[in-house]
Structure 1
Amino acid sequence: MLDPPKSEEVLVRIIATGICHTDLVARDYVMGSPNFPVILGHEGSGIIESVGEDVHHLKVGDHVVLSYGFCGECEICRNGTPQYCYEFFTRNFSGGRVDGSHSHHYHDGKAINDNFFSQSSFATYAIAHKNNVIAVPKDAPLELLGPLGCGLQTGAGAIINSLRVRVGSSVIITGTGAVGLAALMAAKATSATTIIAVDINDERLAFAMELGATHTINSLSENVSQRILEILPKGVQYAVDTTGRNEVINSVLSSMRPTGEMICIGVAQKPLALETNIFLTKGYKIKFINQGDSVSAEFIPKLIKMYQNGQFPFDKLIKKYSFEDINQAVEDSEKGRTIKSVLLIGEYGN
């Protein structure tokens, strides 16, 4: 059973939701995931069916994308960085609201862990907090928009918000999954002139070229550092790593130009070890980011407008699955057959 929304919440009929790597690591009890049973899903899109009495910027019938949860009141949030909210873990990974309550219950009243990213969108309906519900244009394809709430805003935000890549810059992106390819498309949209994609899959690298990469490196068969310096003898200016792998990160760092900047996104499976001797005279900056340093209510509408203008063709990454085929969608994501799986859950008319 699903309870009605509280005063600062909305009830959303889910139209579609993306499958993100974070859903899979939560399933595998990585990153302090909530105990099972739990309703996962955090890239939902849908239509508002009801709103709480303290929700004033959203209304019934709005098309919305659901993103990450944050309190909106601490000094971190007030400083414009809600993705680092003091309550981020509680509101996104604890398996319930901040007060410990739940929206979902069995018929006998026993609670089900939920509120994953303040939404739990692997469901036909979701209760979400007003802070992480973003109204979107009704002329945009709602069934495709959910991944903007996490994976795609993370990659694009790394380029646009975190690195602030300038016209004519050089960028290297390691890993060509959904996050990496979102970063690549954003790099092209910002008019970076050298965009290098690194992966171990030649098909993915060929696709990266279609999306705007100027060069590719297969790290299984080529020396990454050597190839970077062949392409850019003075080194690469900006880097986005989505692999979390020590050897990949260090190979890129050793080939960056002085004052180069790297963004790290990938969930590492072991502690990060850096060859710090290469930093001493280089002035490198390494930053670990969450959600692409994005304020979703501002950034997601911008990405939609870029998509509508042909500057951010994220639909090319998406393969749609029916909700009952969720296991196949997950398998295809894990085996690399699909870049971004999207589950079609509900129907709507434009």
Structure 2
Amino acid sequence: MQIHAAVTPAQGEAFSFETVDLAEPGGGEIRVRLVATGVCHTDAVAWELGIAPFPIVLGHEGAGVVEAVGAGVSTLAVGDHVVLSFAHCGHCDRCLTGHPTVCADFNELNFGGRMDDGGHRLSRDGEALATFFGQSSFASHAVVKAGNAVKVDPEVDLALLGPLGCGIQTGAGTVLNRLKPGVETSLVVYGGGAVGLSAVMAARLVGCRQIIAVDVLEERLALARELGATHVLNGKSEDVVERVREITAGGSDYAVETTGVPAVVRQSLQALRPLGVSAIVGVTPQVTLDVHQDLMAEGKSMIGVIEGDAVPRVFIPQLVAHYKAGRFPFDRLVTFYEFADIHRAFEDSKRGTAVKPVLRMP
């Protein structure tokens, strides 16, 4: 069938709205009519740095309605509301032990541009178009593996839910699934974007004693307070390490580092108390550490966390339930844009004027 999509012709080139061809769903696949899709920093990285092949249809925080199911699909039906999440094989040892975020084929399935059978579902005038995260949600429709789609409560506004598939899942899941802080612990979140603020809300969910948000934008810090931060620090005007140690009487138990800025990564380690843990979730370049001083001498740990170490079909419905109960108001992060305004959504995200842009499909 023919669909409407925002095609990225080459690295750094503007999105081109085009009519392209979408194959019918094969075995184990579904076709989804997309209602909305989030704009994520990973889309920007792929667009600007070329971490996936071109030409490509980007987008990986899709939400929509199932229109068709392929052979062998029994878990979803036409009319179901679904959130699309990352691609994973479902049969490697990591997938089978509840860690699909580190699937043995994660990079190939999400950034390689092809589906798991090596083929393409999108094309333009006979030319194959690369797929992103097994979904390519900057389009009116997508064909995805049924295992990468999460059935969600139809009572909740579907347009809100796409970011649960990546950014919000990453922040909340890092706290709830990987760090698992106790109620009397302290946690610092570095960066007040969608991922960081989701971590703040998750820390409030578990009742952390001290939740400290660090950013350089006062409006982000104000929102962090409203969402559950007990303290906020401006990294431009305050000595973050000294202030964290002061607030926590010696250093934080946990940190979630979302900025990818090497100096901030070091701060997240230096502000930990002995045996503290810093979870790195941002795309981060080379960082120079004093391993003895920053890590080993006080038994600290630095860990990488992908997609919140979540099993999406379990975790995303949990987040939706928390949202319905008023405990996880992630809608406060969302700014809606029309699909035609995709360039403005990316620019607003880059400038920090929108925390989580979400594109509504026509």
TM-score, normalisation: structure 2: 0.92
Rounded Cα–Cα distance in structure 2 between residues aligned with 1:280 and 1:323: 49
1:33 to 24, 28, 52: 52
In the alignment, which residue of structure 1 is the partner of 2:36?
Answer: 16
Paired residue secondary structure (2:297): coil
Rounded Cα–Cα distance in structure 2 between residues aligned with 1:41 and 1:66: 10
Aligned: 1:186 with 2:186: no
Amino acid at match of 2:187: V
- Give the drift of 1:98: 3.0
Rounded Cα–Cα distance in structure 1 between residues aligned with 2:251 and 2:312: 33
In the alignment, which residue of structure 2 is the partner of 1:323?
Answer: 339
Aligned length, in residue pairs: 341
Aligned: 1:228 with 2:244: yes
**Runs of 4 or more consecutive aligned structure 1 residues displaced over 6 Å after TM superposition:** none
- Give the drift of 1:177: 0.3
In the alignment, which residue of structure 1 is the partner of 2:214?
Answer: 198
1:273 to 288, 298, 304: 288
Residues 48 and 64 of structure 1 are in contact (CA less than 8 Å); yes or no, is this contact kept in structure 2? yes
Amino acid at match of 2:251: G
2:191 to 166, 172, 175: 175
- Give the drift of 1:131: 1.3
- Give the drift of 1:81: 0.7
Rounded Cα–Cα distance in structure 2 between residues aligned with 1:319 and 1:244: 23
In the alignment, which residue of structure 1 is the partner of 2:88?
Answer: 70
In the alignment, which residue of structure 1 is the partner of 2:166?
Answer: 150
Q: Percent identity?
A: 45
- Give the drift of 1:273: 1.8
In the alignment, which residue of structure 1 is the partner of 2:68?
Answer: 50
- Give the drift of 1:223: 0.8
2:348 to 317, 322, 332: 332
Residues 90 and 97 of structure 1 are in contact (CA less than 8 Å); yes or no, is this contact kept in structure 2? no
In the alignment, which residue of structure 2 is the partner of 1:136?
Answer: 152
- Give the drift of 1:192: 0.7
- Give the drift of 1:100: 2.6
- Structure 2: tracts of 5 or more residues without a match: 1-20
Residues 31 and 67 of structure 2 are in contact (CA less than 8 Å); yes or no, is this contact kept in structure 1? yes
Amino acid at match of 1:33: A
In the alignment, which residue of structure 1 is the partner of 2:129?
Answer: 112
> 244-253 or 213-222: which moved more?
244-253
> 154-163 or 246-255: which moved more?
246-255
Q: Which has the higher strand share?
A: 2
- Give the drift of 1:165: 1.3
Rounded Cα–Cα distance in structure 2 between residues aligned with 1:104 and 1:250: 42
- Give the drift of 1:281: 3.0
Paired residue secondary structure (2:245): helix
Rounded Cα–Cα distance in structure 1 between residues aligned with 2:271 and 2:135: 41
Paired residue secondary structure (1:28): helix
Rounded Cα–Cα distance in structure 2 between residues aligned with 1:17 and 1:9: 19
Rounded Cα–Cα distance in structure 2 between residues aligned with 1:280 and 1:247: 19
Amino acid at match of 1:90: E
Amino acid at match of 1:111: A
Paired residue secondary structure (1:48): strand
Residues 224 and 252 of structure 1 are in contact (CA less than 8 Å); yes or no, is this contact kept in structure 2? no
Paired residue secondary structure (1:98): coil
- Give the drift of 1:29: 2.4
Rounded Cα–Cα distance in structure 2 between residues aligned with 1:201 and 1:214: 17
Residues 67 and 132 of structure 1 are in contact (CA less than 8 Å); yes or no, is this contact kept in structure 2? yes
TM-score, normalisation: structure 1: 0.95
Residues 42 and 119 of structure 1 are in contact (CA less than 8 Å); yes or no, is this contact kept in structure 2? yes
- Structure 1: tracts of 5 or more residues without a match: none
In the alignment, which residue of structure 2 is the partner of 1:259?
Answer: 275
Residues 89 and 116 of structure 2 are in contact (CA less than 8 Å); yes or no, is this contact kept in structure 1? no
Please, what is the CA RMSD of the aligned residues?
1.1
Amino acid at match of 2:296: L
Amino acid at match of 1:321: Y
Residues 228 and 235 of structure 1 are in contact (CA less than 8 Å); yes or no, is this contact kept in structure 2? yes
Rounded Cα–Cα distance in structure 1 between residues aligned with 2:117 and 2:76: 24
1:121 to 133, 137, 144: 137
> 72-81 or 172-181: which moved more?
72-81
Rounded Cα–Cα distance in structure 2 between residues aligned with 1:122 and 1:239: 33
Residues 36 and 358 of structure 2 are in contact (CA less than 8 Å); yes or no, is this contact kept in structure 1? yes
Cα deviation digits, residues 133-190 of structure 1 (max 9, x gap): 0000110110100000000000000100010011121100000000000000000111
Rounded Cα–Cα distance in structure 2 between residues aligned with 1:250 and 1:328: 33
